[in-house]
Amino acid sequence: MAEKMELRDIEVWDGNMAASQAMRQVQIDVVAAYPITPSTPIVENYGSFLANGYVDGEFVMVESEHAAMSGCIGASAAGGRVATATSSQGFALMVETLYQASGMRLPVILNVVNRALAAPLNVNGDHSDMYLGRDSGWIQFDAYNPQNAYDLNFIAFRVAEDHEVRLPAMVHQDGFLTSHTAQGVHTLDDDTAYSFVGDFKPMNDMLDLDHPVTHGVQTEEDWHFEHKARQHHDLMTKVFPRIQAAFDAFEKLTGRKYNIVETYNTDDADAVVVCMGTAVETAVEVSNELREEGKKVGVIGIRVIRPWPYDQLLDALKGIKAIGALDRSSPNGTFGMLYNELAGTVVNGDEKKVLTNYVYGLGGRDLLKSQLREIYAELLANAEAGKPTTPLQQLIGVRGPKISFH
Amino acid sequence: MSEMKKIKNLKEFSTSADRFEGANLLCPGCAHSIIVREILNATNDDLILSASTGCLEVCTAVYPYTSWDASWIHIGFENGSTAVAGAEAMYKALKRKGRLKQPDREPKFVSFAGDGASYDIGFQWISGCFERGHNIMHVVLDNEVYANTGGQRSSSTPIGSSTTTAPAGRVSYGEKQNKKDMLAIMAAHGAPYVAQVAPNKWKDMIKKIQHGFAVEGPVFINAMSACTTEWKFLPEDTIAISDLATDSLVFPLYEIIDGTKLNITYRPKNVIPVKDYLGAQGRFKHLFKPENKHVLDEWQKRVDEKWEYLQRREEAGV
Amino acid sequence: MIDNGWDEFEIGAMLRSFDGAVKDIATTLQEDRPYSKNNSFTASVADWRIEKPVFNKDYCIDCQFCWIYCPDISIISRDKKMVGIDYDHCKGCAICVEVCPTNPKSLLMFEEKMDEDEALAGWPEKENKEK
Ligand SMILES: Cc1ncc(C[n+]2csc(CCOP(=O)(O)OP(=O)(O)O)c2C)c(N)n1
Ligand code: SF4
Ligand code: SF4
Ligand code: SF4
Ligand SMILES: [Mg+2]
């Protein structure tokens, strides 16, 4: 039996510690992992929990991230609770196996501490790795601070392992800005945390020796489409009700309320920015300040990136005239992901909305409050004019001549 | 520890109930399935299996059919070893936590992979599994080529073989590199048991597999798998070609215990010339042109030297 | 099965080898196993064959070479005796014929359409092997 850890009601934890503590509390059976900045401390913390008797599962320090996810897939198919953590190049190395985990419907939990992708090499946070995973068939949650990183891990295990869902899930947090910034985190005691997620319930487990099972078959044009359609269908229809139920139960337990789409100051807003990660918190601060100046601006934070919260966004965007989609990943030849997905979301609505795209913060570049104020000013001008008053895509905070497109 | 299955002779062995099924899609005469049968039939213990992408995998789990009567997983080309190592880790965890559904049964964990999946793309994964000491058996179905994708070279392809990516041509005799010595590499990992086997020598194979199942820790088995399609011989000759391979000492049968102690396990009564083995296969046909005689000589020289080396190692007990 | 729609199968393209629970499958013979419809045992590759092996038990010494070297689990041996060929799974590779040590052989290849009795009736005599 693993020893229990006494926690204070509020611990001063960074995002990495918050994630590792949640992983400890849900009593994972197998963690197969490989270190990479800035997610390394998750793996190190977990190793120290093990070394001190707080973990009684297996901890397999493999030789690469590809092997980490491969080991997780084998362990998950064998029938038990499985999780790991990674960032950036490590995430990129895992990509092949991400599709295999989701295609086999294995509920692996992956903490992704977001970091830029080389070249050039960079250890700081942006959302390139997160975007790279968006077609991989995983559920993707986004944390904006260490508290979220802690809480969303419990939600992720509970949803992913649900037999109606059986899909892997990522919990994202911003490299360094969240992962290495200590804040007060409200904790759950070990028993409460564990029982929120509950015992792992095996399904199609290889270790059930009386029921041999084959995982990872070959399908060609005669079957492949049906299997992919099934997975897509389940992502589109089965996941949100379970996430909502988990959010409700979590609020009842802790008083902390999460929403699939988070909204701040949006009720009567003319203009909003839509963003993810720590940018949400900065934007909320700026919008609060602007509200005091009488400007009707708000913030929409995406909490669940996959499945894409189409209905929830349509709802949140009601009445809003101008939207700034803030993408923290180089689109490399098109609009940012958020811009494109938001365009797809609002294009068939009755309301005319002006949508523009801002690319910011690549490689850990700070998003300044002054920049957000400028963005809001532009968005309000768009709202007023009923059409774009700026180029559709602008890169902000980059040295040299102003850079924008369309 | 579960009891070892008693297999005194072939008659007794033939009472085994196969856990690998027919109507798979392997070519007629494919040695992969002969090897798989011999290995699975060597034990009555429960099995947790994996296969890396390759002929065995794509031919035995084509939806909606499976040819496996034990739990089986395929993830990708490179990571079958780690797939089964992950399952083994889960077994250990659930055992410790008292959550195994059949706690009194001890399954064996076996990963099957081609030479491409083992010598090349999956090398790092296997090395990792062995360094960490998982209680698994990794079996290479060594047909010295990427058969599943149509016959490209691998680092197991021997010198002079014509493959689609290193074909013999007007100015080339085909593969220039010699086969990688995976057994030495795996023994250098300090693995408790490393062995080369061939399906035609079934008794030697069974003994080694049972030894492998009995030891704790990672076991590496390199199984010669004569491929009718890529080696270019008639399906009915799979066993005959295998006999030529073992009797010419092209595939010497030996084992390495605890990373060091080498034993030769088969000494042909009449060692036959290597060219008899080469001449029976289309992949080496061009070597019999006069201008390629030096390759035939080179082949015989290498086989002789290797045999000499193995004998010296055995004698020295290291 | 073949016409199943996307909502009519197990998630993850998972396949079961058997219907219900099995114990000691390693000691349960094929005829006693509850194979599921997804087990390839229930399928046939008979149409792969151009020639088929025919078994003549008159000469058989039950050495089991054919059993061990058949790649396709198509030599049926029970109680240490060779009893016949599983024509659903035999691919006609002729390995069994090659390895059969008797003289004449107890297994020979015949055209797929050939009647078994006819094949047995025309079985060759013992061959004098000159050395
Ligand atoms: C990452 C990746 N690269 C390449 C392939 C294509 N591929 C599939 S099987 C194979 C060759 C298999 O060769 P081997 O491992 O020797 O097995 P065999 O088919 O010869 O038994 C290749 C190149 C793949 N499936 N995945
Ligand atoms: S190509 Fe070779 S290895 Fe592949 S199924 Fe055919 S005979 Fe077997
Ligand atoms: S012909 Fe080949 S497949 Fe058929 S029984 Fe003989 S060895 Fe088996
Ligand atoms: S190989 Fe020939 S003699 Fe031996 S069991 Fe088979 S049929 Fe009988
Ligand atoms: Mg091969």
Choose from C72, C79, C109 for mutation: most chain B CBs within 10 A. C72
- Residue A237: is it exposed, middle or buried by C-beta count within 10 angstroms (0-12/13-18/19+)? exposed
Question: How far apart (Å, rounded) are the C-alpha atoms in residues A4 and A6?
Answer: 7
Place of tokens 């009449």: B270
Q: Are strands B47-51 and A30-33 parallel, antiparallel or unpaired?
A: unpaired
Q: Which tokens sit at A312?
A: 């929830």
Separation in Å, CA of B61 to nearest CA in chain C: 9
Superfamily of domain A10-253: Thiamin diphosphate (ThDP)-binding fold, Pyr/PP domains (3.40.50.970)
Calpha distance B266→B208 (Å, rounded): 12
Does the CB of A221 have a partner CB in chain C at under 8 Å? Answer: no
Domain boundaries defined on chain B:
10-316
Return residues 86-125 of A near B (CB < 8 Å): 96-97, 100
* Closest residue to atom 3 of ligand 3, CA basis: C90
Beta-carbon separation of A223 and C13 below 8 A:
yes
The verdict on the CB of residue B146 being under 6 Å from ligand 1 is yes
Query: What is d(CA A115, CA A173) in angstroms, rounded to the nearest whole number?
Result: 9
Do A312 and A305 form a contact (C-beta atoms < 8 A)?
no
pLDDT of residue C43: 98
Q: How many residues does chain B have?
A: 318
Residue of chain B nearest A213, judged by CA positions: B71
Q: What's the rounded mean pLDDT across residues A42-61?
A: 97
Nearest-CA distance A104 → chain C (Å): 4
pLDDT for A87: 98
Share of chain A above pLDDT 90, in %: 100
Q: Please name which of A144, A129, A113 lies closest in space to residue A330, comparing C-alpha atoms.
A: A129
Task: Please give all residues whose beta carbon lies within 6 A of any atom in ligand 3, as ranges.
Answer: C 53, 70, 72, 74-75, 85, 90-96
Q: What is the pLDDT of residues C84-122, one digit of tens each?
A: 999 999 999 999 999 999 999 999 999 999 999 999 999
| Closest C-alpha to A300, from A272, A319, A281 | A272
B213 dihedral zone (left: phi>0; alpha: psi -120 to 50; beta): alpha
Give the ligand 1 atom nearest the CA of B52. 15
**Exposure string over B296-308, b if 16+ CB within 10 A, otherwise e:** bebbbebbeeebe
Q: Is the dihedral of CA B58, B174, B118, C93 positive or negative?
A: positive
Class of the domain covering A261-405: alpha beta
**Atom nearest to C95 CA in ligand 3:** 7
Say what the pLDDT of residue A9 is. 98
Under 8 Å CB-to-CB from B18, ≥6 apart: which residues? B37, B40, B41, B69, C30, C73
Please state, in angstroms and rounded to a whole number, the distance separating the CA atoms of residues C96 and C92.
9
Q: How far apart are CA B118 and CA A252, in angstroms?
A: 52
Side chain identity at B26, as an amino acid letter?
A: L
Proximal ligand: closest to the CA of B114: 1
Helix intervals (H) in A52-87:
65-79
CA distance C130 to chain B (A): 20
C-beta contacts of C41-46 below 8 A and 24+ residues apart = C41/B21, C41/B22, C41/B23, C41/B67, C41/C89, C42/B23, C43/B23, C43/B65, C43/C88, C44/B23, C44/C88, C44/C89, C45/B22, C45/B23, C45/B25, C45/C72, C45/C88, C45/C89, C45/C90, C45/C91, C46/C87, C46/C88, C46/C90
Comparing CA positions, the residue from B284, B278, B226 lying closest to residue B28 is B226
Please check whether residue C73 touches B, CB under 8 A.
yes
Report pLDDT for B87. Answer: 98
Interface residue A296 vs chain C (CB under 8 A): no
The best mutation among C56, C107, C109, C126 to test binding of ligand 4, ranked by most ligand atoms within 8 Å of the C-beta, falls on C107
Measured between CB atoms, which of C4, C14, C23 is closest to A210? C23
A70 vs B46, B48, B86: nearest CB: B86
* CATH fold label, B10-316: Rossmann fold (3.40.50)
Report how far apart, in Å, the C-alpha atoms of B263 and of each of A266, B7, B216, B257, B267 are: 77, 22, 19, 8, 11
Residue B244 Cα to ligand 5 midpoint, Å, equals 19
Cβ-based contacts of C5 with chain A (< 8 Å): 226
pLDDT truncated to tens, each residue of chain C (131 aa)?
A: 667 899 999 999 999 999 999 999 999 999 999 999 999 999 999 999 999 999 999 999 999 999 999 999 999 999 999 999 999 999 999 999 999 999 999 999 999 999 999 999 999 999 887 65
Q: By alpha-carbon position, which residue is closest to atom 8 of ligand 2?
A: B30
Q: Look at B23 and C89 and tell me if their CB atoms are within 8 Å.
A: yes
Predicted pLDDT at B3: 83
- Give me the architecture of the C44-121 domain, per CATH: 2-Layer Sandwich (3.30)
Token pair of A105, please?
A: 């419907």
- β partners of residue B139: B112, B221
Q: Where in chain A is the domain with CATH 3.40.50.920?
A: 261-405
SS3 sequence, A345-362?
A: HHCCCCCCCEEEEEECCH
Chain-centre distance of CA A397, in angstroms?
24
E strands, A118-194, are 139-142, 169-174, 183-186
ipTM above 0.85, yes or no: yes
Distant-in-sequence, close-in-space partners of A231: CB < 8 Å, separation ≥ 6: A102, A103, A105, A137, A167, C11
Q: Is the pTM of this model over 0.90?
A: yes
Q: What sign for the dihedral angle of Cα B39, B43, B44, B45?
A: negative
C84 interfacial to chain B (CB closer than 8 Å): no
- Find chain B residues with C-beta within 8 A of A218's C-beta: 57-58, 61-63
- Test C17 with A229 for CB contact under 8 angstroms: no
Q: Which residues of C touch A (CB under 8 A)?
A: 4-7, 9-18, 21-23, 25, 38
Nearest CA owner, ligand 4 atom 3: C60
List the beta strands (DSSP E) in C49-121.
Answer: 51-55, 75-78, 81-85, 107-111
Residue extents of the structural domains in chain C: 1-43, 44-121
Q: Minimal CA–CA distance to C23: which of A212, A166, B268, B267?
A: A212
- Report which bound ligand comes closest to the CA of B230: 2
Which residue of A227, A232, A239 to mutate against C (max C Cβ within 10 Å)? A227
Taking CB atoms and an 8 Å limit, are C16 and A231 in contact across chains? no
Contact between A230 and C6 using a beta-carbon 8 Å cutoff:
yes
Cβ-based contacts of C12 with chain A (< 8 Å): 103-106, 166, 204, 215
Rounded Cα gap, residues C94 and C90, in angstroms: 9
C12/A104 CB distance under 8 A? yes
Tell me the nearest-neighbour CA distance from A57 into chain B, angstroms. 5
Question: What pLDDT, on a 0 to 100 scale, did the predictor assign at position C2?
Answer: 66
Residue numbers in chain B where pLDDT is lower than 50:
1
A204/C10 Cβ within 8 A: yes
Residue B97 in tokens:
């936590």
Give dist(CA A298, CA B173) in Å, integer: 72
Classify residue B152 by its DSSP letter. Answer: B
Q: Is some CB atom of chain B closer than 8 A to the CB atom of A315?
A: no
Q: Which chains touch A (3 or more CB pairs under 8 A)?
A: B, C
Q: Any chain C CB within 8 A of the CB of B45?
A: yes
Q: What is d(CA A16, CA A38) in angstroms, rounded to the nearest whole number?
A: 9
Residue from A190, A251, A188, A175 nearest A14 by CA: A175
pLDDT at site C131: 53
Matching residue, tokens 């039996």: A1
SS3 B74: coil
| B positions 196-215 inside 8 Å of C (CB) | 199-200, 202
Q: Of C61, A211, C96, C67, give the one whose Cα is nearest residue B37.
A: C67
Task: State the Cα–Cα distance between residues A393 and A387, nearest whole angstrom.
Answer: 14
Burial of residue A318 (CB within 10 Å: 0-12, 13-18, 19+) is: exposed
B112 has which bridge partners? B51, B139
Q: Which of B29, B63, B240 lies at the smallest CB-CB distance from C93?
A: B29
Using a CB-CB distance cutoff of 8 angstroms, which residues of chain B are in contact with residue C92? 28
Contact between chains at B89 and A75 (C-beta distance less than 8 A) = yes
| Alpha-carbon Rg for chain B in angstroms | 19
Q: Is A201 on the interface with C (CB under 8 A)?
A: no
Residue numbers in B near C64 (CB within 8 A): 10-11, 13-14
pLDDT digits (tens, 9 = 90+) for A329-362: 999 999 999 999 999 999 999 999 999 999 999 9
Q: Which of B58, B97, B131 sits opposite A218 (nearest CB)?
A: B58
